[in-house]
Structure 1
Amino acid sequence: MEKQTPPGSTDALATNAEWKALLSRYSHIVLVANSDAVDLAKLRRDMPDTALFVFFNKVYKVLSEPFRGNALLVARSGTMGANIVHRREVGDVLKYFPNAGFLGLLNIRVDAGEGLSPAADFEGAPVGHLDLAEYFSDFYPARKLATSGFAMALWLSELQLPGAIVLAGFSARRSEKWKVFSVHDWTFEQVFLRLFSRLGKIVIIGGAEASSYAGLAKKFPGVPAAEIALVAAEVLSERLENTDNQIDRLMSVTKGLRSIDNFFRRLKPKTRKQRYLAKLQEKDG
């Protein structure tokens, strides 16, 4: 994580100190999750004009009209490069940022299997690149990938910016409209983010920073916090075991339905990504 490409450049490298100089212009760095929990109108009212709003990938999940404030769009990469590039969505998302306050796109990867896309693929918009694959290789849970929001929150906190790092809508909960993907370890990320919130490294909007257990310890100061945590963990373990038992029953009941679903999925034509991965496997073979 020594050198990265800053927004507004093409392929020139920059140090973390240069990143810090760029982002230190803003009083707040507001990471806006693609979540129903985001109240963007309230965020705009509560935040000063000196705040930088960081959006992710498919911004139409939270934006219904062009955004007029300071903004940065994070474009996450997959095996085929930036997802919005190979899905041909670059133009669709850029139209939400027509004003001069738009810094540009930041194409990031958090795993060695993900590939960054060249600046030329982003239809003339200012583009930077951030490679965090090595950063997450030694502590994120194995066989899981960090979310873009989690990656940005940790990286920004380590830059020690003078402004506040604010997380909005990071609920890690599925809604009726948007789902969460099992490739990410949501529990691990929520633990980490709430810990950073308690340590004052970030600010979480939306209630995640509130803790009933902290309130319990305050109400009964004679009860050690470690004991509260231990008992809470025991209860959680028992409830998860009961949940697993119910899931096993559901898997047995729905075995026939899943067989039918798998049959029809095999009939579907391969996606561009599946064809791309198949070609890579042929070359490796």
Structure 2
Amino acid sequence: PGGSEPPTPHRTPGRPPPPRTKAPAPGWELFCGGGEYEHPLSGTVRLRAGGHLSRTEYEGRDFDQTFLAAHLGPRWFLGNGTEISLLSSARRHWVGGDGEWRGIGSRLETSHRLSRRFLVYTQASYHQRSYDEDIDLDGPYSSLRLSARWQATPTASLEARVGATQSRTEQERYRNAGQSVGLGASVDLPHGFTMGVDAESLWTAYEGNGYPLVSSGQSRRDRTRILSISLLNRGFTVQGFSPKLVLTRTIRTSNAQLQDYRRTRTELRFVRQL
């Protein structure tokens, strides 16, 4: 489907973390937004151009994160409720005010409407990442996500998704593969509110010897659980944008030392209603 790609770095199971020794404290996502312009090239082809910017700040500032992404490419409408987009993509990530990594690659998106109520869509991406300092983390990063959405009633919808990621870093100990499953639900409430609930579990397996973080000498294994609750006020708009409050709880457990953490994040977004 059309639209800018959210970064959601906390949802990336295969992201190779730099060798830090503590987890970030609870934080606020100060800004998270994006936009896209589509220019018609013909009756069945449009050119997509868009971007996304997010900024999250944590106590102490050491883990403040800024993410910037841009994409450009065609979108084909094939008929029978099917569309495909092939996009070139560029990404940049900063931590604590310093550049961490940049990525150049491509993204393929497809969607197909099976019926008026049922939609399936996929997203596959491949990016070559280059780190500013931790060059051992350089290498290709790929991801695949399959999703299905069911409009159960005019006011309620359900979504299910599965995903996989792979990171082939220069250094073997940071190479990893991840899998994820998620479920979400959204319902329109009285007085112009919409409430959403989303739960996701992610598993990440690293290659090589995890020493010294894994004292047994085994490979590192992480599990991350994410629960999000959101509330959108459709009845209040400013220049077409409505406020959306999102509360996210993330828990990561790992067999590696100092890699477990619990994090609560609050976001205030402004959503354009179309």
> Which structure ranks higher in relative contact order (CA pairs < 8 Å, sequence separation ≥ 6)?
1
Structure of higher CA gyration radius: 1
TM over 0.5: no
> Taking structure 2 as the reference length, what is the TM-score of the superposition?
0.26
Q: Normalized per residue, which structure has more helix?
A: 1
> Taking structure 1 as the reference length, what is the TM-score of the superposition?
0.26
Q: Normalized per residue, which structure has more strand?
A: 2
